[in-house]
Structure 1
Amino acid sequence: MEVKPFTIRDLQKKKEKNEPVVGITSYNYSIARIADKVGVDWILVGDSVGNCEMGYATTIPVTMEDMLVFTKGVVSGAKRALVIGDMPFLSFQTSPPKAVENAGKFMRLGVSGVKVEGIRCIENIKAIINAGIPVMGHIGLNPQYYFQMGSYMVSGRKKLEWKSIVEAATILEDIGAFSIILEAMVPELAKKIHDKVSIPVYGIGAGRDVDGQILIINDVLGLDFGFKPKFAKQYVDLEKIIYEALSKYKKEVIKGIYPDIEHTY
């Protein structure tokens, strides 16, 4: 039976029906295929691949070339789930033409849209939308501005911040963004944004009063290898499982147990 792809319109329909949307950040064909089978609604190919799969301390070193390689795998694995490409550092900030060009590279791979952090380069974001490319916004904690922030901070702990953050959400809606991610944000502020805008808002560490949740697959599977934010729930210790499997394989090779007759032509 042919699988009907999940679309941006379906995201809006789920919001209207008050049905939670399930998202995951993933970086490869194997996980995308499993997520698709589970019925995850959308997959973000995040620039957090820099931390999770490339060993970087931040997302800053991740390039467009890096993102395109990982995106190819996810698009190949996801037959139903909507796939969004994450615009890495300096891929959309420098100029409107460059922003459109790079967003277009994602679209040619088969994604349904791109995600951008913040609203500082709003004219460049507008240019992407005006070119016919769907854009997901991202406010609250913006990792691409790590060196300006000095640390990863929770947004909204000071009520003085609320006005500007809510305004950022309304600006994104006004220019035509189809949804917004709220990252590391106090739940009260997230609810205020949810109630203020008509487009879907999804939380990653923003409480329950949003239209859906997204987590990073490495956190879900226990492959975070170090820092884990408070909101990241681990559902299995896959690091332990992989360690035990590889240890058993190593032991069998050394002892001459593998390959046995069953695994020999």
Structure 2
Amino acid sequence: MPFTIQDLQRRKQAGERVAMVTAYDYPSALLVGRAGIPMILVGDSMGMVVHGHGTTLPVTVEDIVRHTAAVVRAGTDALIVADLPFLTYSDPESAVAAARRIMQDGGAHAVKLEGGAAVAPIVRHLVAFGVPVMGHLGFTPQAQHQIGIRAQGKEASAARRMLDDALLLQEAGAFSVVLELVPAPLAAEITARLGIPTIGIGAGLGCDGQVQVWHDLLGLFESKPPRHAKPYAKVGALIEEALRSYREEVEAEAFPTAAQSVKMDEAALAEALR
């Protein structure tokens, strides 16, 4: 059965934690489905981990639509949430246009946007038109040039503002809020005070769920993963080993063998060459 935002809400009420992971293409989404993970984020993190940019800012609506459509084609039961890219929700009309493309053409079930009080009216506007919206507080990657890459909410005033922002997003109709790089005690307190679920990333065990980036979780990169990430496998090293073995076999004329080659009747070949 498809996992819905109502199922997510029921999980919170029952005190059951929810796993979420990013996916950006068809094979990744297939594996997520087989693993039984109920939520997928088609994140603008693709700008960095898929397209090689230094930030998420170059990601466009077209990028999100294309990658979301590929994820949707895997046919999983996961709830698929897609990011609204940088500056595509600076006003209600732009937000509706971006959400329409991502949900109609991409097939996403919901969208996610970053920010608190400033975007609450946008959230309210989208929800009024039937768009499920997930919020995002704490470290907001689209604002990294403004706030830096660091934890947010460590000072009393900032913590108070984040709590207020979370309540504003809830009041505006958001069905969930991501808390990224937020002190664990603060994230737990926000989670306790909200009626909607929180999804943590670098925000401790007190959130209602957790989200991790595909490439970090699978250890696809050689570089040290972020502090908040846990590599559950070293898939990158396995892929590199397989590619190296392939190259070595090609160079040694050990691949392809007869098993990977197409046979032909010798008489037919002789006739063709006559």
TM-score by length of 1: 0.95
Larger radius of gyration: 2
Give unmatched runs, 5+ long, in structure 2: 263-274
Does the Cα contact within 8 Å between 2:123 and 2:173 map onto a contact in 1? Answer: no
Local SS of the residue matching 1:77 = coil
Q: Is the 8 A contact 2:199 2:211 kept in 1?
A: yes
CA-CA distance at 1:132 after TM superposition: 0.6
Q: Who is 1:33 aligned against?
A: 30
Look up the match of 2:111. 114
Q: Is the Cα–Cα contact under 8 Å of residues 29 and 76 in structure 1 kept in the other structure? A: yes
Corresponding residue for residue 52 of structure 1? 49
Q: Which residue of 1 aligns with 2:244?
A: 247
Aligned to 2:143: 145
Letter in 1 for 2:137: I
CA–CA distance in 2 between the matches of 1:70 and 1:226? 25
Q: How does 1:1-265 map to 2 (within 5 A)?
A: 4-93=1-90, 95-108=91-104, 109-119=106-116, 120-149=118-147, 151-226=148-223, 228-265=225-262
Q: Secondary structure at the match of 2:10?
A: helix
Distance in structure 2 (CA, Å) of the matches to 1:101 and 1:113: 14
Instruction: Check whether the contact 1:26–1:32 (CA below 8 A) recurs between aligned residues.
Output: yes
Conserved? CA contact 1:92–1:125, under 8 Å: no
Which amino acid in 1 is paired with 2:97?
A: E
Q: Could you tell me which amino acid in structure 2 is paired with residue 178 of structure 1? A: F
Q: 1:120-178 CA deviation, whole Å, 9 max, x = no partner?
A: 233222221111100000000000001111x2110122222111000000000001000
Superposition deviation, residue 227 in structure 1? 5.5
Letter in 1 for 2:23: S
Contact 2:23 2:214 in 1 (8 A): yes
SS across alignment from 2:73: helix
TM-score, normalising length from structure 2?
0.92
Q: What letter corresponds to residue 81 of structure 1 in structure 2?
A: A
Map Cα deviations across residues 30-89 of structure 1 (whole Å, 9 max, x no partner): 011111111001000000001100001110111111111111111111421110011110
In structure 1, stretches of 5+ residues that fail to align are none
CA contact (8 A) 1:114 1:134 kept: yes
Q: Which amino acid aligns with 1:6?
A: F
Query: Given residue 93 of structure 2, which amino acid in structure 1 is its aligned partner?
Result: P
Deviation at 1:106, TM superposition (A): 1.3
- Kindly indicate whether the alpha-carbon contact (under 8 Å) linking 2:153 and 2:183 is maintained by their aligned counterparts in 1: yes
In structure 2, C-alpha distance between the alignment counterparts of 1:28 and 1:114, rounded to whole Å: 17
Instruction: Give identity over the alignment, percent.
Output: 37
Take 1:27 and 1:190, find their aligned partners in 2: how far apart are those partners?
Answer: 27
1:246: Cα distance to partner? Answer: 0.4
Q: Deviations over 1:102-128 (max 9, x none)?
A: 111111132110000012233222221
Counterparts of 1:78 and 1:196, CA distance in 2: 35
| Equivalent residues, number | 260
CA distance in 2, matches of 1:259, 1:19: 50
- Cα drift, residue 225 of structure 1: 4.6
How far the C-alpha of 1:90 sits from its partner, in A, is 1.2
Deviates more, 1:218-227 or 1:61-70: 218-227
